[in-house]
Each structure stands twice: as C-alpha cells, then as structure tokens.
Chains A and B, each alone.
Chain A
Amino acid sequence: MHRSLWIKIASIVGVTLVCLYGIVGLPTNQKELVDNFNTNIKLGLDLKGGSQLVLQVQVQDAFKAEADQLIDRIKTELKTASVDYGSFDRNEPSTIEDADKIEIVGKGIPATKAGDFRRLINERFPDWNITSTSSSDYRMTLKPTAALDLRKKTVASAIRTIESRIDGLGLAESSVQQRGAAETIPEILIQMPGVDDPARIKQILQTAALLELHEVQEGPFASRDQMLTQFNGILPPGTKAVRGVGQQESWFLLKRSPVITGRDLRDSRASQDPMNNSWATSFVLSQDAAGRFGRFTEANINKRLAIVLDGQVRSAPTIQSKISDNGQITGASSQQDANDLALVLRAGSLPASVVYLEERTVGPSLGADSIREGLMSGLVGLIAVVLVMLVYYKKAGINATVALILNAIILIAILAFFGATLTLPGIAGVVLTIGMAVDSNVLIFERIREELRAGKAIRAAIDNGFSRAFLTIIDTHVTAVVSSAFLFIFGTTNVKGFAVTLIIGLLANVFTAVFVSKVIFDWQLSGNNKVTTLSI
C-alpha cells in the first residue's frame, strides 16, 4: 500500500477519534457514556422542555419616575433659593412610544424670578429643555439625546436585574439577552431550557420588587372614600394613600417619601417564625441605611411603620424600640414564597414594570416524547437509506454508509465543540445534510458506473467519477452554504439554528463524501494491481 494512503487513513481515523472524544469523552462505563453525551450535546428547549419568554420593559415608567424625581429636586432647589412657585405636575405617557413625550408643567413662578428659574434648570438639570408658556408658567421636556440614554439605561438595568434573579434561581443553562438589533428596543428574550416550573419563574421575573418603608400617618381605613371624608376630600400635603394587601379592603395614609427603600438592603433571607411555623422574609440594611433607620426608629417609638412592597402595604407594625439594621416581611404562604421574595429583594427592583409579549413552554413529558419520536424516525429513515444503498450499490454502499455515519459524527462533534444547542429547526438542517450526503455518494457512484460503461478501466473510472462529480458537489454545496449564510445573517433565532447545522453538515460532507469515500475505494484497490471487478 502507498505511504500516502496510510497517511490518509490515519488522518481519517484520527478525525473520527477526536470527534468521538468530543461527543462522549473517555467513558469507562455505559452510564458515564450516556452522561457525557448528555452534557456535551445541548438540546434546545423545543426538544428538551423548558421555557422561552419575551418581556417588554414599560420604559415609560422610568420616564415618569425620572420626572417625579426632577419635580422633587426642583422644589427643593427653589425652596433653598427662596423662589416661590405654584405647582409642578407631569403628564402621564401611557405607551412605550409615548415615553419620550414626558413633560413637566411648572406654574406660578413670579415673573421677576424668571431668569433665576431658567438658569437653575439649565445649569442643574441640563437634560431638560425649558420653554415658557406664559409669564409665570413653564414647560419642561426631556432632550432627545437624554431620552435615548434613559431608554438604554432602563433596558440595560432591567436585563441586569433579571439576570441576577435568574442566577439566584440557579438556572445554569439560561440566557437573558436583548431582543432585536437596536439597543433601544425594550424587549428581553429569556431562554430557560429544562425549567419545570415556568409559572413560578414568570412570577419571580415580573415582580417589580420595589420595597419601601414609610411612616404611617393614619389608618387603616375601610375604604379610600372613608379616608378622604376624614380629610375633607383632600389628602394632607406630603402624604399618599396606599392599599393594604389581602382580601379585606384597607387603606393607609403614609408619608410620601420613604424612610428606607430596596436599595438600602444588604441581604435578605427566608426565615421561619418558631412560634407558629409561618414563613417570612427577613432583610438586613446596609451600614449607611442602618444609621438612618436607627435614628428614625429611636425618634418615632410607638408610631407605626408601613412595609410597602410593589405599591401595597404588606404590614404596618408599631415601632417598639430602636431598630438598627433588620426587618421582616411577614405573610408568605410557603417556604418557597418566602425564598422567592428574598431572592427578588437581593437581586434588586426592576426600573420599570414588564409585560410578557411571548411565552413558549414545553413540558418535560412532551420534550421526552419529542426526543424519542425524533430519534425513532431518524433511525428508521437512516436504516432504510442504508439498506437501499447496500442493495443497490453493493460493496460501494458500505463506503456510502461509512461516509454517512462519519458525517453525522463530525456534525454532532462540531455542534458540541461550539456549545451549540440542537433544536427542531436544527434537526431540519440535519435531515437536509443527510439528504445531500446521500446525494453526493449517489452522484459519485453513478458517475463511476457511467465511466465503467464507457469502457474505462476500474482505477480510471473511479478517479474520473470522483473528479467529475466533485465539480457538481462543490456547486450544490456552495449554493447551499451561500443561502444558509444569508439565512444566518437575516433570520430569526429558529432559522439561524437551521442555517448553522446545515453549514456545518455541508462542510463535513465535502470531507466525508469526497475524501473519505475515495480513500476507502483506494484502500479496496490497493495491493491488488490487476483489479478486474468493482462491486458498485
């Protein structure tokens, strides 16, 4: 046998071994083999089960919060500068598209102080444009560049929060990313393969987790109307009405600005009350906040403090003594609820509320069925193809079979190497790859038969058959690769999965059908210089 043939065979065996190693590692028993296979080959959530969510961040919430903050700061600044003012109000943009239209109307600023007021806004709040609507009234709008920044910031911070919540849940294979090309598209794609309790996770992700501790002024009242009647229809300045949690309606009148917010937390954990076995979530404050809280509680003993979570009063205990750095949120229905709340408090609050645009959940039993049925049909198809090839092309059919199996091994190994996930559209790519792999062999064999019929010697027939078919194979494969590249660049996630497997499969196929199959022929003919028969 020629030396070059040996080198070729060695390189094929080498490639096969490396690929097999990439797929199953070096197992010592059957269990390890299966385990390694399962770790290396990642199945997408359409096959394995799991959940995919698309969240839309309601960025207008962040715009409103920004405007509210601005109003507070302007009022403080005006007070220190002893400038009188009537009122400051903002509008209420209700959709994401309208978020940029946020505006603040300031009324009743004395005409004599107009210059001071303008200077204040321009110097201290350069993100805002100011125009006068009359001698004493002004309208402030957010500058376009600042609005764009705020959008990006809001989306980025929502992604960070969701990521840390998902990390907290220990969902290792999950991914959180922005959906769409532009940074300003407020949509987040979350993929969580293998998750078995999607409803709980949706709940966790959607929780705003905005925790605030407010001083209680009055309450609880049985209804909002009752509260309003007591104050003759107008709430006292610097207060707000907040509903209590629970079936029974209850309302509290709270001081508007919170003593402590979720940002002041250092840690939070689920804890169990030893008295009645009920679950609660305890939190610990950061050093700075603890000092503030200590002074506040010391000065307000016997007053009540409301724990407000996501706009609802969870409880309003009376301050018994000075508390420095810890607190507790009671009323969890189970250990898991208490744990989940601790988790979202640790991960931080969302900068804006979120809504679900899309959800795809595949239950674990359906995933198992898909895998079984997919494997079954794949095997039946493959066996049928191999049988026909063996019957029709006899010994040459073995070449084709070897090439086909090697192709599948290389394809799977490369997918494993890149950590790519195999999805349903990916399987479509595999099916097309197998089809084209079979086609390459058929093309070559039919060419060889043609050459034999034309009276060529066996060696020449094989050489010619391969070189002629090679041109066709290159044309078909490059066309498919070109189109797959476009699909990959412009396609949706699913289409990309198809394109990736197809490209890998086609490249592997050029190697197996053209090179490996030829080497097997050469090997069959080697050492036998006067070949007169060819089984094809």
Chain B
Amino acid sequence: MSKPLGCQPDLGSMHIFRDTNFDFMGNKWPLIGLSLLLAAAGLVSLVIEGGPRYGIDFKGGTLLYVKFAEKPSEESIRAALGKKITGEISVIAVQGTNELMIQTETRNERELQSTRQLIEDTLSSVFGSTPDKLNFTGAASARVYERLNLPLQKAGVFINDEDLRKLVTETLSFRDKQKGGIIANFDELSKVPGMTPQILTVLKQESYLGKYLVRNTEVVGPKVGKELRTQAILATLYALAGMLIYVGLRFEFVYGFAAVIAVFHDTIITIGLFSLFHKEISLTVIAALLTLVGYSMNDTIVVFDRIRENLQRGRKGDMTEIVNRSINETLSRTIMTSGLTFLTAVALWLFGGQVLNGFAFALVVGILVGTYSSIFVASPILVFWQDFMKKRGDSNKGGAAPAVTTAKKLAAK
C-alpha cells in the first residue's frame, strides 16, 4: 500500500506544498486592500439594509414552514394572506421541495398568537377542510386513537386497546418518517405492519387527507428577540475578550490583539456576505459564526506558534522574513486542515437540508475567510507592530524589539 521510504525521506509521500518560499508579506498590501474592500462592501450593504437581516429569532415575528401535497402557487397564497393580515408578509418557496416559508413581522407582543392563527385559518380556508372528519395530515396519535376507537367497535373490527395504540403509533411514524408527513392516498398505509383492510376502511370513513402540513412554527415576541440579540452579542464579545487575554498571556499582548482583529475581520465579512445574499441571521447562524471564530482563531494560533518558535530559535532576519518563513513552513498544514474542514462544510451545505443551510453557508464562507485572515490580516499586524517598535526603539536608542526579547525570555525558561 505504501512505498518504503528510508532516511532519505519523502520519496513516496504526497506533498502539496513543500519547501515553499512565497513572499506573503511582500504582497500584503494588495490583499489587505482586498480585505478592506470586502469588509467595506459588507458594511455598505449593512448600512443600506439598515443593519443585518435578523431572522425572527432576533426581531420577533411569526414563521411557518408549510409542506404541501402538490406544488403550491406562492402568489395565490400571498394574496389570500394579504387580505387577512396587515403588514409585511413574505412567502418564499423552499427550493427543490413543495414547501413554503411564510413569515410575518410582529411588533406587538399581543398580536403573536393571533397572527399565527390567522395564517393557519387562511391556509385552511384556501385548501378546504372536511367538517366532522379528522384531518389525518398532522393529526396527533391521541386524536387518531380516539377517533378510531368507537367506530372500529361499531364496524365489528376486533382489536384490543394496546394493539390499537401501537398500530396508531406505527401508522403515524410511517407517515412522518417514511413519507415526510404527507401521504397522497390512504392506501399507502396498507404497508404499515398490523394494518388490515377493515381498519383502513374505518380510517377512510373517519378522516380525510389535508393538502398541507405545518412542519415548523416559530413565534417570537419582539421583546424576547431583542434580549436574545443582546445576549448573543454580549456572549461573543466576552468570548473574544477571553481569547484576547489568553493569547496575550501565552504570547504577547500584540499577538492577542492581532488574532482578535483577524477574527473580527472574518465575522464582519461573513455578516456582510449574509447581507449581500439577503440571508437572515438566526440563532443557528450565530452558532456557525461562533464556529468560524473558533476555526479562524485556531489557524491564527498555529501560525503564531511557529513565529514564536522561530523567534526563540534566534533565526536570522527581520520580522518580515521570520513571519514569511513561518507561514511557508506551516502552509502545507494550513492547506490540508482548511481543505479538509472545507470539505466537511461543503458536505453539510449540500446534504444538510433546510435546517442546516444557513449554518453551512456561514461555515463555507467562514473557513475561506478565516484561513486567509490568519495569513494576511493577523500576521501583517505583527510585522507592523514590530516595525513600529523598532523605529521607536531606534529613536530611543533601544535594543532589540520587544517581541524578540520576550521570546528569548521564554526560551530561557
């Protein structure tokens, strides 16, 4: 499987980057320019949109994911809702499915339940219902059981209580797990273990198949939304402060500062891209942002570690050279790790489904930006600082720059 390799190593090994010597710091200006441009574009988009597009988690409102038996017409549903509900209503088709996302804003705590009820009532009047029968689509197990119990006895179908409960559970589990919540035809249920033609006949008598299913409901009051927003932002800021302090202690303050600036850069660009692509920031996206902060910080620390090691070894050259060498030495690792995590994120994006979509998008963007920022944002800050201290040191007739002295002190330990 593997070729033998001797003490002359690497004959059979695969390498992407080996002994590279790219001049990263020499080309920093155009890339810093690009960073600033991206960040500025994001900020401008944010300003134009009046802040990030918060999901209802953060601004309050009503959100329903509704699945339909057949592909629905967005316009007709929007029109029907518009007659009943004042204010902004958005009806968006979920790509590749028969689902619609219906969302309204709620400014008042008291409207919360009524808005949601209005939406459900409108859907029910558009798609019709059969009075005196149970809507099998979306029915809970207790309701189905209660509905079948007497009619089965009347029809002379003998099934004991325990078996009936079990059958109902199995039937609903088939409906939800195999058929995604909606069946087109009662006869599909004949596959359920324990289902007999007689029971199916009674079920057909007692219930009808609703043409839509509310799969997910979120109703958030504006006050709760605002609190969640404040708390999420505060928690993130505290976490950043924590990193600043830890990295500052382990390395030097300027390293912590540089790392936090890089992470900030990534977050701003990602939020900006969300704004550009009209994607909403929800609680899940916050989790993704925290993940990308983690990735980016990890990347930055790996590079910083190498810089510190090279300084400790007393390598020749000025800071620019040392930073360049450190980045080149870790480049192979950086590409490998980022590439692999990027693969995971892409898999999540492609196969993760509707719930994970916003999350995966943030990760895909975040990993790219995070890798880039540890090289082109965090590292240049160290070089700038060093140059600045050196100039000041020269003018004060000082000796070596502080980063080097500290590094030497560390090495002496």
- Indicate if the CB atoms of A443 and B219 lie closer than 8 Å: no
Chain B residues, Cβ within 8 Å of A355: 109-110, 112
Chain B residues, Cβ within 8 Å of A198: 217
Produce 1/0 per residue, A189-232, CB < 8 A to B.
00000001110100000000000000000000000000000000
Task: Check if A144 is an interface residue, CB within 8 A of chain B.
Answer: no
Residue on A nearest B247 in the bound complex, by CB: A479
Decide yes or no: A498 and B146 within 8 Å by CB, A360-B218, A366-B181 being known contacts.
no
Task: Check if A32 is an interface residue, CB within 8 A of chain B.
Answer: no
Q: Which of A121-129, A286-294, A388-396 makes up part of the contact surface?
A: A388-396
Q: Which of A14-22, A77-85, A236-244, A378-386 makes up part of the contact surface?
A: A378-386
* C-alpha spacing A65/B346, complex, angstroms: 59
* C-alpha spacing A360/B295, complex, angstroms: 30
* C-alpha spacing A355/B234, complex, angstroms: 28
Task: Check if A66 is an interface residue, CB within 8 A of chain B.
Answer: no
Chain B residues, Cβ within 8 Å of A532: 4, 6-7
Decide yes or no: A369 and B238 within 8 Å by CB, A425-B287, A442-B333 being known contacts.
no
Contact of A381 among B109, B288, B294, B343 (CB under 8 A): B343
Task: Check if A502 is an interface residue, CB within 8 A of chain B.
Answer: yes
Chain B residues, Cβ within 8 Å of A452: 7, 9-10
Task: Check if B14 is an interface residue, CB within 8 A of chain A.
Answer: yes
Most chain A beta carbons < 10 A, residue from B4, B245, B290, B345: B290
- Indicate if the CB atoms of A490 and B14 lie closer than 8 Å: no
Chain B residues, Cβ within 8 Å of A475: 250, 301, 305
- Indicate if the CB atoms of B181 and A360 lie closer than 8 Å: no
Contact of B302 among A425, A431, A476, A492 (CB under 8 A): A476
Decide yes or no: A361 and B216 within 8 Å by CB, A197-B142, A446-B336 being known contacts.
yes
Task: Check if A258 is an interface residue, CB within 8 A of chain B.
Answer: no
Dominant secondary structure of chain B at its interface with chain A: helix
Task: Check if B89 is an interface residue, CB within 8 A of chain A.
Answer: no
Residue on A nearest B9 in the bound complex, by CB: A452
- Indicate if the CB atoms of A425 and B348 lie closer than 8 Å: no
Contact of B239 among A336, A356, A484, A533 (CB under 8 A): A484
- Indicate if the CB atoms of B138 and A486 lie closer than 8 Å: no
Contact of A358 among B215, B219, B298, B348 (CB under 8 A): B219
Decide yes or no: A363 and B347 within 8 Å by CB, A377-B352, A424-B287, A472-B301 being known contacts.
no
Residue on A nearest B348 in the bound complex, by CB: A377
- Indicate if the CB atoms of A439 and B215 lie closer than 8 Å: no
Chain A residues, Cβ within 8 Å of B352: 373-374, 376-377
Most chain B beta carbons < 10 A, residue from A198, A369, A435: A435
Contact of A360 among B217, B291, B339 (CB under 8 A): B217
CB within 8 Å of A: which of B312-362?
329-330, 332-333, 336-337, 339-341, 343-348, 350-356, 359-360
Decide yes or no: A491 and B231 within 8 Å by CB, A363-B214, A374-B356, A472-B305 being known contacts.
yes
- Indicate if the CB atoms of A357 and B333 lie closer than 8 Å: no
Decide yes or no: A486 and B238 within 8 Å by CB, A373-B351, A373-B352, A377-B347 being known contacts.
yes
- Indicate if the CB atoms of A533 and B6 lie closer than 8 Å: yes
Chain A residues, Cβ within 8 Å of B187: none
Produce 1/0 per residue, B147-163, CB < 8 A to A.
00000000000000000
CB within 8 Å of A: which of B279-301?
283-284, 286-288, 290-291, 293-295, 297-298, 301
- Indicate if the CB atoms of B283 and A439 lie closer than 8 Å: no
Produce 1/0 per residue, B202-239, CB < 8 A to A.
00000000000111111111011000100110111011
- Indicate if the CB atoms of A334 and B146 lie closer than 8 Å: yes
* C-alpha spacing A334/B145, complex, angstroms: 12
Contact of B138 among A359, A363, A492 (CB under 8 A): A363
Residue on B nearest A52 in the bound complex, by CB: B218
Task: Check if B365 is an interface residue, CB within 8 A of chain A.
Answer: no
* C-alpha spacing A378/B344, complex, angstroms: 7
Chain A residues, Cβ within 8 Å of B239: 483-484, 486-487, 490
Decide yes or no: A480 and B298 within 8 Å by CB, A377-B350, A533-B6, A534-B5 being known contacts.
yes
CB within 8 Å of A: which of B383-405?
none
How many residues from A make CB contacts under 8 Å with B?
Answer: 90
Task: Check if B126 is an interface residue, CB within 8 A of chain A.
Answer: no
Decide yes or no: A336 and B355 within 8 Å by CB, A428-B291, A487-B235, A533-B5 being known contacts.
no
- Looking at the assembled complex, report how far the CB atom of A248 sits from the nearest CB atom of chain B, in whole angstroms: 21
Chain A residues, Cβ within 8 Å of B363: 431
- Indicate if the CB atoms of B176 and A368 lie closer than 8 Å: yes
Chain B residues, Cβ within 8 Å of A468: 309
- Indicate if the CB atoms of B146 and A476 lie closer than 8 Å: no
- Indicate if the CB atoms of B242 and A388 lie closer than 8 Å: no
Produce 1/0 per residue, A431-464, CB < 8 A to B.
1101110110011001001101101011000000
Task: Check if B195 is an interface residue, CB within 8 A of chain A.
Answer: no
Residue on B nearest A370 in the bound complex, by CB: B355
Produce 1/0 per residue, A463-483, CB < 8 A to B.
000001001100110111011
- Looking at the assembled complex, report how far the CB atom of A451 sits from the nearest CB atom of chain B, in whole angstroms: 9
Task: Check if A259 is an interface residue, CB within 8 A of chain B.
Answer: no
Decide yes or no: A356 and B238 within 8 Å by CB, A368-B176, A431-B363, A471-B305 being known contacts.
no
- Looking at the assembled complex, report how far the CB atom of A382 sits from the nearest CB atom of chain B, in whole angstroms: 8
Produce 1/0 per residue, B172-196, CB < 8 A to A.
1001110111100000000000000
Task: Check if A74 is an interface residue, CB within 8 A of chain B.
Answer: no
Task: Check if B80 is an interface residue, CB within 8 A of chain A.
Answer: no
* C-alpha spacing A478/B181, complex, angstroms: 45
* C-alpha spacing A372/B178, complex, angstroms: 11
Chain B residues, Cβ within 8 Å of A334: 146
* C-alpha spacing A196/B140, complex, angstroms: 6
For the complex of A and B, the 4 pairs showing the least CB-CB separation, nearest first, are A365-B181, A373-B353, A197-B140, A452-B9
What are 24 of the A-B contact pairs (CB < 8 Å)?
A: A336-B142, A355-B112, A357-B221, A358-B224, A363-B213, A365-B176, A376-B351, A377-B352, A380-B350, A381-B345, A388-B343, A394-B1, A394-B12, A394-B13, A424-B284, A425-B284, A428-B287, A434-B341, A439-B298, A439-B333, A479-B297, A482-B246, A483-B239, A495-B286
Assuming A336-B142, A428-B287, what are 16 further A-B pairs, CB within 8 angstroms?
A46-B355, A362-B215, A363-B138, A363-B215, A365-B176, A365-B177, A368-B176, A373-B352, A374-B352, A384-B347, A424-B284, A435-B337, A476-B298, A483-B243, A491-B232, A492-B232
Report B's interface with A, CB cutoff 8 A.
1-2, 4-7, 9-10, 12-14, 65, 67, 109-110, 112-113, 116, 138, 140-143, 146, 172, 175-177, 179-182, 213-221, 223-224, 228, 231-232, 234-236, 238-243, 245-247, 250, 283-284, 286-288, 290-291, 293-295, 297-298, 301-302, 305-306, 309, 329-330, 332-333, 336-337, 339-341, 343-348, 350-356, 359-360, 363
Report A's interface with B, CB cutoff 8 A.
46, 54, 196-198, 200, 334-336, 355-366, 368-370, 372-374, 376-378, 380-382, 384-385, 388-389, 391-392, 394-395, 424-425, 427-429, 431-432, 434-436, 438-439, 442-443, 446, 449-450, 452-453, 455, 457-458, 468, 471-472, 475-476, 478-480, 482-487, 489-492, 494-495, 498, 502, 532-536
